[in-house]
Structure formats: structure tokens, C-alpha cells
Chains A and B, each alone.
Chain A
């Protein structure tokens, strides 16, 4: 790695002619040789960012640096990037081999030479038997491999993948997901992968960039995004977290004591922000760290605990998703968030939890994480 695949976006804006703001001031750094996922709901600007890096779209403002060089205004080919298009954009009049050799032909490489290079890549994606087929004679997964081969044949330093798995069925999606990951490891080049699927992003990427409304909500490792979301939006979008709120009673030494609606008491640790007493804050609690007990077995309510009623259970194999309705304190409004606990399968059946049961949901102090940002930011679906 020589840093030629490092990507940096500095103050990038993209406004379209009709006044819509697709990208609203994005600063982002992607390390050379990293697998990065741009994740967000449709219309969040992730594809526009990808297309601006590729050179198919020009930022209204800001700089895009690849390997330290500002590439705004450069032709796509001059950027050292290659793009894999959402619906593959294979040339229907060319065979698999000619599709893959297409960019080499444009470079003026002679036929024999470019076919040799194409065949080498064709072998890497295991399409040797199909090299002479036309694109419309291939299955979706095979077409995807051709698109991948076509993108890497020019030895780019950055590969841009626009929703690469969205056209595949579930089985193929999982298979291609790991193939992409392996390919990235083998090539050692930067991959930027645009997706709207949370699990896909955290499964493949080292760096996940969660976006909303043209802004970066959080850029972190896959684990960081999932386990330590920065904002209520990210926590809700990634799932796996319950978003709660409270008013700061006291804070210091990395600990904060909060009071929620109805006098519920919460405690947070491991946060290093100074919180003014009396300020309202949001925090997240991992769903798999919530412990349920039948209400009858827990008469007294301690810190980090809620009384609730089970409204739904959903069997997930290794765990059971239990949806709860929190018992409202007098005057408390029903929030838009649902409160969910992921109960280990054995635990769920040992406690014989039923729909309608009154339960106490509690968690360790270390499970709560402070969130910043708009408490009312909900992902659009």
C-alpha cells in the first residue's frame, strides 16, 4: 500500500438543477486498501458520492482527493477508479471476454494481449467456461461476476460498487458478499460499496459510513457503528439498540445518573462528555443486553429497569425477539420507539415468557451508551 488508494472528501456539496441537495457538506477519509461501505436509505446521497468519486458527477463545491490528488474535473479513466454498476451495464453486443477486455481495447492494447489479460481475470472469477457467452445467456450471479471482472481488469486503485448485490436473490447475495470480501483482500485495493442493507454493510466492511439526508451521520468500524452508535438515527437505523431518554441528575468521572419519565433511574458509564445537570439526553441500550424477568419475581425496581408488557415474540433461532410496551407513567406519552429485548433461546423458554406477561426489563450500567444528535431522527423506510 502506497497510499494511492486513499480517498478524501473535503467539504463536498452536490446540488442538482432542481434545487435538491443530494450531498450536504461531507468530509470523509477512506484509508488505502480499506473496504468501505456507504450505508443509508435511498436518497441519502450515498450513490451521488460514489458517482462523484467515479467522475460521473461533479461536486458543486469541495474537493475529492484520490491518493492525495484532487480529481475533480478529471475524466473517470484518469482517476484510477473503476465502477461496477448497479445493473452491471454489460455491453449486450459483446461476449463475456470482449466485455472484460473492453477497457483494454480502449487503451489501444492489441487483441492477443488484451485477451490474455481478460482470460486471467475470467479465471479469477471462475467464468472460464462461459467466456464466449453473451451477457443475456448468463444468470444474475454470473453477470455480476463479469461486471466485477470487467472492473478489475484495468488494475484500478479504487473499485466503486453501486448496490452490487441488490439484484441477486438471498442465497447468491450471501455467496457474492464473501466473494467480494475475498477479492478485496486478494487485490489489496480500496473498495467502496454502496448499500442500503445494514447487515450487508457490517458483514463486508472495515469502515461503515452511515448517511442520512446528504450528511454523514457516523463513520466508524462495523463494530463501532453497530455496538456504539453515535446518534439516535444511527442506533435506530442499524437496529439492535433501544433508544431511551432522560434528564441528567448528576455527572462526573465518566458516570452519569439520569432520571427518565415517571422517575425511572438510569446510569451510564464510559462516557467522557461533561453533561450539565438538568439537560435532556438520549442513550441507547443493546437489545441483546436487556434481561427480562417476570414482574412477579422482581417486586422492587432498581436502577436501569423498566416495567413493561410483552406484546410480541418472534423466534429467530438462536434468540427470540421480544417486543415490549413500556408501562407508561402518569402523563407520559407513548414514544415512537419500540422497546425490544433479544432473549437467548434457552432463557426465553426457561422463563416461559408469553404474550401479555408483565415483565421487568433491566440491564447492566455498562450497557447504556450516550447518543448525540436529533432525538427525532427516524430512518425512512
Chain B
């Protein structure tokens, strides 16, 4: 009989190996490279903080972070409201399990096409001659096409919300479906209205799902590359596009430093979320 401890180790081992090879190892390389020297000829192993200095020394970096964090917060707020309400509807208002699963699948339909197509498809809708503007002008609601619809912060956030809401729905849906229905009757028995029940019972009991969804959405937005580029019409850039620019000019050490800095910032954001809600407790402490 193999001791329990050994058995446990063996069970965890494959995942540990995969994570070491495909996650930790590349990350260590990036970390190492971020300290390398470089000149016109290429990079040389060594240890210097110049790359970080170069990243943190330019106002561009801060502007990029400021605009991306702004996008992240706006997207988070929208996806949270939409995701929560969609999940609430699916879990508590759809009587038939089968229909609920069907509607849940409908939520994933946007994922049947590629990211690029989902993004591009906003152009004919939001453009100057697009569907919305033509409709509004045609019905005489407005006389000039709305400029802010496309190639603006608005269109960027719309696209983020479109693509990332599902990442909010899924974890909230999960925690919500574990709520005992009898709690609603207990709340009603105590004299709570529907809204009070949602505020005092449903939201506290779904906070773990909300936290998980928030982590997904925030990290996805912070790590975005294309959406900002395409839907802001080139007016905005993402942090990753700065990394991309560095790489395309072969400034690998600086790209690495920029990446490490991004990781730190995102980890801080996740840390803040975890400070508010201890998600690990949700994952481990299941009775």
C-alpha cells in the first residue's frame, strides 16, 4: 500500500510538471531577459535595471496603464451588471432546467466565431454609415451621424463587454445555482422584498462567483492587444502593443521588462479582488 502522502504527490505531479514546463519556465526566461544588457548588435546576458528604467521613465507607459485600467474598470462594471442579471435570470427565473441550459449555450454562441470576426462585426453596426447611425438619421432622431460610436473609447468598451461578459456569467451562474431555493422562501417569510432578497441574500452568496468573474474580466482586458487597436481606430494603444513594438524593433529586454511590470500590476489588481473576497475558500471549503 502506497502511503497517502505519496499517492497525493503522484496525483498532483502531472499538473505540476505541465505548469513548470509551460508556465514557470517561460516566465523565468522573461524575467531573466528583462535584466539583460542590449545594444545595437543584440542582447547580452547580464544584470541591469536599465530596461525597467526605460519602461518607467516614459510618460507613455503611465498613459497606457491609465487608459487600460480605465477600460478595465468600465468593462468590469458593465460585465458585472449584465453578467449578474443574466445569471440571475437563468438560475432563478427559467423554470425548466433544459431551457436554462439551452439559453446558457446561447450565451456562448459568440464564441463560435473567431475573436477577430466578432470584433470586426461591430464596424458595420457602429460606423458613420453603419446600421445604428443610418437608422437614427433615417427616422429623423438625429441629423448628423453620431461620431462617438466607432473608433472611440465607447466602441472599445462595447466590444470588450460583448466578448468578456460570458466570463462573468459562468462563475456567477455556478455559485448562484448552488443557492438553496428554500432561502428565498425563508427570506420572504422574514418579510423581505425581492430587491432586498437580492441585496441581502443573493449577492452575498454569489460574491465568490463575482470575484472569480472579475478576475477573468480584469486580466483579459489588461492583456488585450487587438480590440483597442482596431476599435479605437488607432487612437489608443494597449500595453501589449507597446510590448509588440519593442519586440518588432528587437528590443527584447525592454519588452520583457514591460511584460514583468504588467504582470506585477495585474497581480496587484487580482490581489485587491482577493482581499475583498477569499476565492480560495470557495474552491477548497466545499462541504
Residue ranges of A at the interface with B (Cβ–Cβ < 8 Å): 54-56, 75-77, 81-83, 85-87, 89-93, 102-103, 105-107, 136, 154
Contacts of B180 in A (CB 8 A): 87, 89
Residues 178-219 of B at the A interface (beta carbon under 8 Å): 180, 182-183, 185-192, 196, 200-201, 204-205
Contacts of A90 in B (CB 8 A): 186
A selection of 8 A-B contacts at a CB cut-off of 8 Å is A75-B188, A75-B191, A77-B188, A83-B185, A85-B186, A91-B201, A93-B201, A93-B204
Q: Kindly provide the distance from the CB of A358 to the nearest chain B CB, expressed in whole angstroms.
A: 56
Partner of A91, one of B185, B186, B196: B186
A83-B186, A90-B186 are known contacts; what are 14 more A-B pairs with Cβ within 8 Å?
A55-B188, A56-B185, A75-B188, A75-B191, A76-B191, A77-B190, A89-B183, A89-B186, A92-B205, A93-B201, A93-B204, A106-B191, A107-B191, A154-B190
Determine if B287 is an interface residue (Cβ-Cβ < 8 Å). Answer: yes
Contacting pair A106 B182 (CB below 8 A): no
Q: How far is the CA of A91 from the CA of B192 in the complex (A)?
A: 13
Q: How far is the CA of A31 from the CA of B161 in the complex (A)?
A: 59
Contacts of A107 in B (CB 8 A): 191
Contacting pair B204 A102 (CB below 8 A): no
Q: How far is the CA of A81 from the CA of B189 in the complex (A)?
A: 8
Residue ranges of B at the interface with A (Cβ–Cβ < 8 Å): 180, 182-183, 185-192, 196, 200-201, 204-205, 287
* With known contacts A77-B189, A107-B191, A85–B205 Cβ distance under 8 A: no
**Highest count of chain B CB atoms <10 Å: which of A75, A89, A136:** A89
Q: How far is the CA of A92 from the CA of B205 in the complex (A)?
A: 8
Partner of A106, one of B185, B196, B205, B287: B196
Contacting pair A76 B188 (CB below 8 A): yes
Contacting pair A103 B190 (CB below 8 A): yes
Contacts of A86 in B (CB 8 A): 182
Contacting pair B182 A89 (CB below 8 A): yes
* With known contacts A85-B186, A91-B183, A91-B186, A103–B191 Cβ distance under 8 A: yes
Q: How far is the CA of A82 from the CA of B189 in the complex (A)?
A: 7
Contacts of B191 in A (CB 8 A): 75-77, 103, 106-107
Contacts of A106 in B (CB 8 A): 190-192, 196
Contacting pair B185 A89 (CB below 8 A): yes
Q: Kindly provide the distance from the CB of B151 to the nearest chain A CB, expressed in whole angstroms.
A: 45
Contacts of A154 in B (CB 8 A): 190
Q: Kindly provide the distance from the CB of A139 to the nearest chain B CB, expressed in whole angstroms.
A: 13
Contacting pair A93 B189 (CB below 8 A): no
Contacting pair A85 B185 (CB below 8 A): yes
Partner of B189, one of A76, A92, A105, A136: A76
Can you name the residue of chain B whose Cβ is closest to the Cβ of A153? Answer: B190
Q: Kindly provide the distance from the CB of B278 to the nearest chain A CB, expressed in whole angstroms.
A: 13
Contacts of B196 in A (CB 8 A): 106
Contacting pair B190 A56 (CB below 8 A): no
Closest 8 CB pairs of A and B: A77-B191, A103-B190, A89-B182, A89-B186, A106-B191, A93-B204, A76-B189, A106-B192
**Highest count of chain A CB atoms <10 Å: which of B185, B201, B287:** B185
Contacting pair B192 A85 (CB below 8 A): no
